Amino acid sequence: MLKGLYILDKHAYDNIYGEEERKDILKYVDIYGPPQTAETIKNNISLLKDADVIFSGWGCPHMDKEFIEAAPNLKAVFYGAGSIKYLVSDAFWDKGILITSAYAANAIPVAEYTLSQILYSLKLGWYYALSTKRDKKYPPKKVAPGGYKSTIGIISLGMVGRRVCELLRPFDVKVIAYDPFVKKEDAAKLNVKLCSLEDIFKNADVISLHTPWLKETEGMIKGIHFSSMKQNATFINTARGAVVNENEMIDVLTKRSDITVVLDVTYPEPPRPKSPLYILPNVVLTPHIAGSMYKECNRMGRYMVEELERYVKGEKLRYMITRERSAFLA
């Protein structure tokens, strides 16, 4: 039987790996020690010497050279959360350790949040709700795009972007997308037409950003893009704040009160205390709630149980991340 440990924040452990998930993991793995955090494993690093597998999530320590050398038997890491960007190292990859992530499970609530904001924005819901509360009277009616023959723009067709497209299938809307790494025939399978980033902003009634934050994508959404948005259009960001040049965005928002932005992420996060994002009337802020929360986190643990079962059977891991692929992920 495999030997393993849980290493993650206590809060993450309680939410990700529920009672049923822990029972199922015990069918295949001897969990030979209590759940560890990044701090406790640092102080008890000798615990790693017998670990074949590690189950983790938010709060996972950086698996640097010292960590890897202390875990000579480590063969696989099951990361019950999304991005692995901050936990892997060259030493990790050089050792040939497998890693799988619950990024696909975490994409589900992000896509659901996005869908809710798209549909609400097509009715200009935030304009009416915020204006009524601020002015204590109903605002003038605006021409809303509505949910029929309107255009939705998706920026990046990764796991979340694709799922948003799938969720939009039942609606009578046109979906256009920008992703330089996706072929036209693959986009067509999603009922999506590819176009340029500039065309997304010029033609979409609602735009949703799903681009990972990489060195190459930092600040890629600029003021000129916001300036070109359609009358009464809405921009939604559930990706990362740093993908947007927020200073340029703010400058446009002060001049164009007709457009609305819904930001579940900012840079920095939360915004600085005196940031205009708190007071601009056409900005909606939510505190990074699109991803898995509370019971939704348990889905990520279940995905890791399913990956463990594939691993034990010698099957290909469905959500395995390679060194090469990690360079293109958030």
| Residues acting as catalytic residues | 240, 269, 288
- Give, to the nearest 10 degrees, the angle between helix 125-135 and helix 103-122: 70
> How far is CA 289 from its chain centroid?
10
Longest dimension (CA), the chain: 68
Residue 173: which region, alpha, beta or left (left: phi > 0; alpha: psi -120 to 50)? beta
